[in-house]
Amino acid sequence: MTYCLGILSNSGLVMAADSRTNAGVDYISTHQKLFDFSNPGERVILICTAGNLSITQGALTLLRRDLVAKEENNLHTLPTMYEVARYVGTKARVIQEQDRPWLEKDGIDFKCTFLVGGQICGEEPALFLVYSQGNCIQASKETPFLQIGEAKYGKPILDRILDFNTPLEAAAKCALLSIDSTMKSNISVGPPINVVMYETDTFKVRYELKLSLGAPYLAQIRKKWEISLNEAFDRMPNIDWEHYQDLPDDSVSLHG
């Protein structure tokens, strides 16, 4: 399993991913899950992957082959980010159709998902979640983040902190805390962590980092976050057991 997220803001885009791949408790390895397919000066295209590793790697290989072969439709020729997202879904379907019979025969899950984010000249930045079937949904001002993989543990902080007007630096920090919270609760998610922060209309990735196991910044934010959570918890008022609200007449009490 893995965890990837993308955050769309009024000033750009943040994408982040862990690198852990889990094929059972006795076979855990690391594989990069965040990829940069940008054509600097004209478009920025970032792709995160989750799900069956052979399927996602196969789809990425087809994307790269089309670029090398200068196919009419490739990541650098399609005119909109929506068409780029649909194109990524098409490549995933190609690999799935090739391998599906054999994977199904052995009961292996062949599903995968992608986050596709970036900006093409003439458009605003955009972020899409591409499903295993090849269709996609788009992030919006009302729903400014998308997640794939082991999403549930890192979602609460995103729900409470983020909106479309969140400054880009704060969004990047929130993304890292979301991944750290997931790592704390689920051993199938782990470093190295890749993070990219893209500023609108720059058409170049200027800010990216890779945080490995033991990175001082990861240790620092984990410690400070845990301290802050404990301090916030201590400030919460205690339950007022003496002035509880009476149960409705039609409710069943604990004593039957």
Tens-digit pLDDT profile for residues 74-112: 999 999 999 999 999 999 999 988 887 777 776 777 789
| Closest alpha carbon to 22 in 45, 48, 2, 4 | 2
Portion of the chain with pLDDT greater than 90, in percent: 68
Q: For 171, how many CA atoms within 13 A lie in the half-sphere containing its CB?
A: 26
Single pTM value for the model: 0.89
Cα torsion for 49, 51, 53, 59, to the nearest 10°?
-50
Q: How far is CA 96 from CA 23, 57, 111, 132, 238, in A?
A: 19, 11, 8, 9, 53
Q: Name the amino acid, one letter, at 159.
A: D
Q: List the single range of 106-110, 112-116, 141-145 with lowest mean pLDDT.
A: 106-110
Q: Is the pLDDT of residue 52 over 70?
A: yes
CB of 114 within 8 A of CB of 89?
A: yes
Architecture of the domain spanning 3-233: 4-Layer Sandwich (3.60)
Q: How far is CA 80 from CA 84, 126, 158, 203, in A?
A: 6, 9, 27, 14
Q: Any idea where the domains of the chain sit in the sequence?
A: 3-233
